Structure 1
Amino acid sequence: MHITLVDDSIPFDGYTASSRPLGGAEKGFAALAGALARRGHTVSVFNRCRWSMFIEGAQWETFEGKKPLLTDMLIALRKPELLGFVRQAKRRVLWHTGPGRMLAKKATREILADLKPTILLCSAVQAEGWRADGLKVALLPPALKSDYLANFDEAASDQPPYAMVTTHPAHGLSWLVNLWVNHIHPAAPDAELRIYSMSLAKMAEGGGVEPGLEDLAEKILAARGDGVIVTRPQGDAMMAAAYRQAAVHLYPGHPDDGTAFTLMESQACGVPAVLRPLGAAPDRVANGSSAYVAPDDDAFANLTALLLNNAETRANLGAEARALYQGRTWDAAAEKLEGLLA
Structure 2
Amino acid sequence: MNLIDFLHPARIYTGETLRTGAMGGTESSVVHLAEALAQRGHDVRVFNRVAEPRHVFGVEYLPMDAAGAQTRGDIGISVAAPKAFSTASFRVPILWLHNPLKGFRQLRQGSVLSMLKSRPHIVLLGEYHARHVPRWLPSSGRSIIHHGIAGAFHREQSAAVAPQPRAIFTSQPYRGLDWLLGLWPEVRARVSDARFDVFAPKAHQANANAAKAAPDGVLFRGSIARDALVRELENARIQFIPGHRDETYCLAAAEAIASGVPVVTLGAGSLSERVRDGETGFVVKGRDEFVARSAALLSDDALWARMHRACLADSAIATWDARAIEWEALFERLSTRRS
Moved over 3 A (4+): 64-67, 152-158, 198-201
The equivalent residue for 2:232 is 242
CA distance in 1, matches of 2:31, 2:205: 26
The equivalent residue for 1:169 is 173
Q: How far did 1:113 drift?
A: 1.5
**Cα contact 2:198–2:220 (8 A) shared by 1:** yes
Is 1:180 paired with 2:170? no
2:116 to 98, 108, 113: 113
**Cα contact 1:149–1:326 (8 A) shared by 2:** no
The equivalent residue for 1:311 is 301
Is 1:271 paired with 2:289? no
Greater displacement, 149-158 / 244-253: 149-158
The equivalent residue for 1:30 is 31
Is 1:91 paired with 2:96? no
Which AA in structure 2 matches 1:294? V
Deviations 1:191-232 (A, max 9, x none): 011111244542566xxx5xxxxxxx2xx33x1xx2111111
2:127 to 107, 111, 124: 124
Q: How far did 1:70 drift?
A: 3.1
Q: Secondary structure at the match of 2:111?
A: helix
Q: How far did 1:242 drift?
A: 0.4
The equivalent residue for 1:213 is none
**Cα contact 2:44–2:60 (8 A) shared by 1:** yes
CA distance in 1, matches of 2:129, 2:277: 20
Q: How far did 1:307 drift?
A: 0.7
Q: Secondary structure at the match of 1:105?
A: helix
The equivalent residue for 2:149 is 144
CA distance in 2, matches of 1:282, 1:153: 24
- The 1:276–1:284 alpha-carbon spacing in structure 2 relative to 1, beyond 3 Å, is same
CA distance in 1, matches of 2:96, 2:4: 14
CA distance in 2, matches of 1:155, 1:231: 26
The equivalent residue for 1:43 is 44
Q: How many residues align?
A: 324
CA distance in 2, matches of 1:69, 1:246: 44
CA distance in 2, matches of 1:311, 1:190: 15
> CA-atom RMSD, angstroms?
2.2
Which AA in structure 1 matches 2:243? G
**Cα contact 1:244–1:269 (8 A) shared by 2:** yes
Is 1:202 paired with 2:180? no
Greater displacement, 302-311 / 58-67: 58-67
Q: How far did 1:57 drift?
A: 2.5
CA distance in 2, matches of 1:69, 1:192: 50
1:71 to 67, 70, 73: 73
**Cα contact 2:248–2:270 (8 A) shared by 1:** yes
The equivalent residue for 1:229 is 219
Greater displacement, 256-265 / 132-141: 132-141
1:81 to 77, 80, 83: 83
Q: Secondary structure at the match of 2:232?
A: helix
Greater displacement, 299-308 / 132-141: 132-141
**Cα contact 1:52–1:59 (8 A) shared by 2:** yes
Deviations 1:30-66 (A, max 9, x none): 1111111222222122112343222333222232346
**Cα contact 2:149–2:255 (8 A) shared by 1:** yes
Deviations 1:310-342 (A, max 9, x none): 122112211111221587111111110122341
The equivalent residue for 2:62 is 61
Q: What TM-score results when the alignment is normalised by the length of structure 2? A: 0.88
Greater displacement, 160-169 / 254-263: 160-169
Which AA in structure 1 matches 2:196? L
**Cα contact 1:104–1:130 (8 A) shared by 2:** no
Deviations 1:143-187 (A, max 9, x none): 0112112424568688x4210112322222221111112x21101
Q: What TM-score results when the alignment is normalised by the length of structure 1? A: 0.87
- The 1:316–1:77 alpha-carbon spacing in structure 2 relative to 1, beyond 3 Å, is same
- The 1:51–1:340 alpha-carbon spacing in structure 2 relative to 1, beyond 3 Å, is same
Q: Secondary structure at the match of 1:262?
A: helix
Q: Secondary structure at the match of 2:73?
A: strand
CA distance in 2, matches of 1:185, 1:314: 17
Is 1:13 paired with 2:14? yes
- Superposed, 1:241-260 pairs within 5 Å as 241-260=231-250
Q: Secondary structure at the match of 1:194?
A: strand
CA distance in 2, matches of 1:271, 1:244: 8
Q: Secondary structure at the match of 2:76?
A: strand
Q: How far did 1:127 drift?
A: 2.2
Is 1:340 paired with 2:327? no
The equivalent residue for 1:214 is none
Percent of counterpart pairs with the same letter? 24
CA distance in 2, matches of 1:193, 1:292: 18
Q: How far did 1:71 drift?
A: 2.1
CA distance in 2, matches of 1:263, 1:286: 11
